[in-house]
Chains A and B, each alone.
Chain A
């Protein structure tokens, strides 16, 4: 007489980040190669979800971050600068009309840090090839023609408490541009440095508002500190002579090479 023992094996629903369901069928039908983890780039096993937006491949996912009292959610940033030729105010208006807003200086610094990490996903949650990532970084920072510039959402205003940065602007129901955040500018580097500040050190040690700290290392990125003239906003410029953070731009400035990166919360 033989004793029969029944062993029940519970199959997990996922293995190595892949759904187990249907695996056997795929293997048996000869399409099992796609199940090979080494054959796929990391993006396919990521938990990052695609954005629900038309043309998600034209955006980069900037992971949400907290910097002191300022925080922002996962954000989509357009790969290309848009609305070139518009001044700072009109750029806000154009972005708002299409459901976007202007990236803050802090988001811009985090964007540079993300690009430098080499690990960047587009709005489809697919990894960008590293060469494409470095091309994007160079497009922003390389000293070369033609002129490239982008507006940043940082408006400097003098107040009884000192020089403040207004940011997180949105256009309200009355069509008025209203800031969501106001924060003291200092402590930060409060003198021009041309040249320059060290880009990597700035990215690593930027203040909560994204400005370089007073002890930022010397380098090749030019820097103009925020002015207290109540008509200075921030932008990042690059041309054949220099690349730098310009915190004393007139909001009424405009130029063919000066645009803005469209930002919106990723959903």
Chain B
């Protein structure tokens, strides 16, 4: 039997892994999602207590390593591209919609979230973070996602496909995606109101979007459009997953939830 090894696992290149393990230097190895970290050392973070550990996850072909995700929104009043630039300067990144869904699920469970120091978060704290994200109330809260939509192919409007670009990096003053995949099996029309947020979290697509058969609910949803980017915002009128944001838009209330790859030492 021939076994084909994948090129990537949990967002990491597989190449050289075996050699590193045999040499005793297994850096950045993902941990179990239920195991609190033994030691957290991320040199660029001075306040790990303000971050939450998002376990590395596999969604079809898309995997990502364990992350530290900020409990709060920062870098407000910057457009989508400038936000990427600001994050890159801090070796941080923007959450993809799928990572955001996983983050919400983690908080929603309320019993398995840990801060960057490895201290278990109380249910009350998890609920407070969720409240800040999606409760319909003043003031406005809004955050960018790492997802830009792009139409490709087709002729005269026939056969056009919509792609999601994500995993953006900022190099040479350019925001460039590392992943570009066709959007399939997602809700391709607006629903205002709304979609059921629990159903969304339970059955989101590999790209974090609601599936077409999602139950009705109160979370507003605007579907992806060519050239637009995704985000989440809540105010006194609604909470919404908005996939039609102009990337050039700025607002003093709109920021980003910084994420950083978590470096962790594993006891062997």
Interface residues of A (CB under 8 A from B): 15-16, 18, 23-24, 27, 32, 35-42, 115-119, 129-131, 133-134, 137-138, 141-144
Contacts and interface: CB of A to CB of B under 8 A. Distances in A.
B77 to A, nearest CB: 14
Given A18-B157, A23-B156, A36-B157, 13 more contacts: A15-B156, A24-B156, A27-B156, A32-B156, A38-B225, A39-B151, A39-B226, A40-B226, A41-B225, A117-B192, A118-B193, A130-B244, A138-B237
B138 interface: yes
Interface string B203-224: 0000000000000000010100
B235 A37 contact: no
A115 B193 CA distance: 11
B246 to A, nearest CB: 8
Contacts, number: 76
Q: Choose among A15, A116, A130, A138 the residue with the greatest number of B CB atoms under 10 Å from its CB.
A: A130
28 contacts: A15-B158, A23-B156, A27-B156, A32-B155, A32-B156, A35-B157, A37-B160, A38-B225, A38-B226, A42-B190, A115-B237, A118-B190, A118-B192, A118-B240, A119-B192, A130-B192, A130-B220, A130-B242, A130-B244, A131-B242, A131-B251, A137-B236, A137-B237, A138-B138, A138-B237, A142-B138, A142-B236, A144-B138
Given A36-B154, A36-B157, A39-B226, A118 B220 contact: yes
Interface string B178-208: 0000000000001011000000000000000
A41 B224 CA distance: 10
Interface residues of B, number: 27
B170 interface: no
**Which 10 A-B residue pairs are closest in the complex by CB-CB distance?**
A118-B192, A39-B226, A134-B237, A38-B151, A137-B237, A35-B157, A38-B226, A23-B156, A36-B160, A37-B157
Contacts of B220: 118, 130
B244 A41 contact: yes
Contact of A16 (B157, B192, B238): B157
Nearest to B228: A41
